[in-house]
Amino acid sequence: MKFMVTWRTHADKRQAVFNAFSQMTAEDDKRDMGDKIRLIGRWHDLSQFSGVAICECDDALAVASWALNWNNVLDLQTVVVLDDEEARAVGRNKLAAAAQVKPAPIAN
């Protein structure tokens, strides 16, 4: 599953978060996320102290645990997202299922 994690830094924690994150290494990131999460990409809006990350993981508990590492300084939202191929497959499945539905007879 792919997850989109969006965040906004608490206003009174901006400098602390900026200092902590800017000192992190790739190894620190891996420890923070754990072994089950694969980070696809992360983008930061430094003027708003907000951002978005896309990650892949088969364990929602691991993603929740990662988010909890930061919830004392960030407001976070996590949602499951689909790529184009996955969204198209859902659409095709829904269209095929709808084509199989027979209209119910209407009694007068």
Any idea what the CATH number is for the domain that residue 31 is in? 3.30.70.1060
The pLDDT of residue 19: 95
Q: Which string of b and e fits 59-80 if b means at least 16 CB within 10 Å? A: eeebbeebbeebeebbebebee
Query: Which residues lie closer than 8 Å to 24 by C-beta, 6 or more apart?
Result: 32
The pLDDT of residue 5: 98
Counted domains in the chain: 1
Asked whether residue 66 is assigned to any structural domain, the reply reads: yes
Asked whether residue 23 is assigned to any structural domain, the reply reads: yes
Nearest alpha carbon to residue 5 among 83, 80, 59, 77? 77
Asked whether residue 106 is assigned to any structural domain, the reply reads: no
Asked whether residue 79 is assigned to any structural domain, the reply reads: yes
- What range defines the domain where residue 19 resides? 2-100
pLDDT of 103 over the 80 cut: no
pLDDT of 98 over the 90 cut: no
Give the pLDDT confidence of 6-50 residue by residue, as tens digits: 999 999 999 999 999 999 999 999 999 999 999 999 999 999 999
Asked whether residue 69 is assigned to any structural domain, the reply reads: yes
What is the pTM for the complete model shown?
0.84
Asked whether residue 76 is assigned to any structural domain, the reply reads: yes
